[in-house]
Amino acid sequence: MRDFLERLPKVELHLHIEGSLEPELMFALAERNGVALSYASVEEVRAAYDFSDLQSFLDLYYQGMSVLRTAEDFFELAMDYFRRAHAEGVVHVELHFDPQAHRVRGVELSVVMEGLSLARRRAERELGLSTALIMAFLRDRPAEEAMTLLEEAAPYWEMLDAVGLDSAERGNPPEKFVEVFERAARLGIARVAHAGEEGPPDYIRGALDRLGVCRIDHGVRCLEDPALVARLRDERMVLTVCPLSNVRLRVVERLADHPLPRLLAEGLNVTLNSDDPAYFGGGMLDNFLACHQAFGWDRATFRTLAGNAIEAAFMGEARRAELRERLEACD
């Protein structure tokens, strides 16, 4: 099964590029940029990865990204992940990135875009890896700040495959960002949003009805609302589920307790993703393997999950057709 899952053409729809920052690269960039970290060693950082909830993770996440200062840093960050993902059989990656978290440190959007754009071109040329870009708004910051960011991103609108909504969910409902997402819709930019991870099912409904999203990132709490489950099934709404992330952030205590089997039994349009692989126990292959070990899924189930992601991805139809063929040929 491991050999099959390595060969399976995997498409990642839910990846925060800042969350792919491995401790080794964190320390290298800290030294290069003269950034003092609160940790004395790589081992000490890894020991801190015992999170009690989403907020405890975010505290470390934002500290870690403080080492990212230059376009070269963002290029190295993305290429480091692209190479690891490629080695695991990932063929397409959709990167969430958080400009507001960098702006507060004085790092302009142009710096982030330069580094990520160079890495995306290099990954396609050298690795055959296609990518998409999702500019995420931090939901625990003011909506006015998100609107300002969206307008300042005007030179890059054509490069954005979607805008998203992430960070601390509790107390920050989707409705807070209605005007921002309406503006993105008028610009012709697709919308996605984190909902139903720590937040209630109503946040999923709000993201659908008020933000007009085409995908729900996480969405695992939908099972608390049967009517919502029926709607998600009828609309074939994509759920970008992140199993190892949900364990690390105590959404569930053990992977064996995860609602993934129930989500599939309900006929929902589920995909598997890594979220923040440096912090949550591994990348795409680790998540697929963990699900096989926890749930005993067969090859047909994993083909279905991989196919769901191919169909939901932000990519050209020629690329989609190519990946469908690769999936069909994978045995």
The catalytic site residues sit at 197
Closest-CA residue to 197 (of 236, 243, 231): 243
Token code pair at residue 163: 């805008």
* Residues 265, 123: Cα–Cα separation, whole Å: 36
Contacts of 168 (CB under 8 A, 6+ apart): 54, 55, 58, 139, 140
d(CA 219, CA 197): 6
> In whole angstroms, how large is the CA radius of gyration of the chain?
19
Place of tokens 């503006």: 183
CA distance 181 to 71: 28
Q: Is 87 helix (H, G, I), strand (E, B) or coil?
A: helix
Locate 38 and state its tokens.
């609160």
Question: Euclidean distance between the first and final Cα of the chain, in Å?
Answer: 10
